[in-house]
Amino acid sequence: MGNSWGTPRTRVVPGRRPGTEGSRLPLIGKSSGEAAGHRAPLRPAIREAIAILESAGVHSPGADAEYLAAHVLGVDRMRLALVPMVTADQLEEFRKLVARRAERVPLQHLTGTAAMGEIDLAVGPGVFIPRPETELLFAWALAQLEAVGHAHQPVVVDLCTGSGALALAIAHARPDAQVHAVELDTEALAWARRNALQLADEGDTPIDLHAADVTDPTLLTQLTGMVDIVVSNPPYIPEAAILDPEVADHDPHRALFGGPDGLSVIRPMIPNITRLLRPGGAVAIEHDDTNGSDVAALLTAAGFTSVIEHPDLAGKPRFVVAHRILD
């Protein structure tokens, strides 16, 4: 779980606004009868929004202003240049969203969606918002699945799944995989179920969701020695860390903090990972940028081999990968 905000990925699908069920403002390009009201130019409104967000300390004011405009209009961000004018109602909604973003409400809480891999996830209060850094761990998992080959159906376990981001992105990219996702928190699990049902309805291979504690020694005993890949983005921020307002005020703290050293979940989780993995199986654990060497040491002490630390998009230590020793 990242402790900084950065520039989160989000997508806006034309004609669809995830997480905002109910009324929807008419799209630009509708007939004058459908899009009533005075029209105003979009670009000056975006420039105004950028200035507001910049003064509020938002890290990515330009991108966020454009994402919010695209959300209001129901178009892809890259198509905003094709929308020169907006209605008064659209402009009003845009300005309201900009004001909330200036209060440091997360962008994804305003759009109702976050991206992971090639999927969009519904997110909101009560669940951790996936970060761009986790895309690197996801890419590692896909490469590792290629290395597994097709001699058997690959089995993947996502520990601390939150919204289901990693598990569902993997299932979408590899429909042949059997994917299990574990989450203890009931609110997060509800978001994961919502996302899993939506993606299954759209044709993705269903995943198996488990309400369980990742540190419980009896976790997924039916999969002992059968798992090819374990991925985990657990609570890992040290309790004394200073967080951005988007994180401190809106992400659930139970999904963020991993005790005084950030390892209170990771440390007792490793014996379960060791038990679950088949010989030669691989694990990737995301961690705070201050304790990568500690996670690597824990995996080495547990008998793992090929322990490698990986940086995030900013070059900071972010996740460790390792393999269970072959019998």
The answer to whether residue 260 scores a pLDDT higher than 80 is yes
**Measuring CA to CA, how many Å separate 126 from each of 109, 129, 192?**
10, 9, 11
Q: Do 320 and 310 contact (CB within 8 A), yes or no?
A: yes
The whole-model pTM stands at 0.88
Mean pLDDT of 87-96: 97
pLDDT given for residue 55 in this prediction: 98
CATH hierarchy code of domain 39-111: 1.10.8.10
Place of tokens 């109910």: 22
Helix axis angle for 42-55 and 88-102, nearest 10°, is 10
The answer to which of 22-26, 37-41, 63-67 has the lowest mean pLDDT is 22-26
Of the pLDDT bands very low, low, confident and very high (cuts 50, 70, 90), residue 26 is very low
pLDDT per residue over 195-240, tens digit each? 999 999 999 999 999 999 999 999 999 999 999 999 999 999 999 9
Q: What is the CATH number of domain 116-324?
A: 3.40.50.150
| Confidence category of residue 9, pLDDT binned at 50, 70, 90 | low
pLDDT tens readout for residues 288-307: 999 999 999 999 999 999 99
Residue 272 has pLDDT above 80, yes or no: yes
Q: In the chain, pLDDT over 90 holds for what percent of residues?
A: 85
Q: Is the pLDDT of residue 111 over 90?
A: yes
Compute the mean pLDDT over every residue in the chain, rounded to the nearest whole number.
91
| Domain segments of the chain as ranges | 39-111, 116-324
Cα separation, 210 vs 5, whole angstroms:
28
> Any residues with CB less than 8 A from the CB of 285 and at least 6 apart, and which?
231, 232, 234, 266, 269, 295, 299, 319, 320
pLDDT tier at 37 (50, 70, 90 boundaries)? Answer: low
Tell me the mean pLDDT in the region 140-160.
94
**How much is the average pLDDT of 235-256?**
95
Model confidence at 8: pLDDT above 70: no
Residue 33 has pLDDT above 80, yes or no: no
Query: Average pLDDT, stretch 59-88?
Result: 95
Residue 160 has pLDDT above 60, yes or no: yes
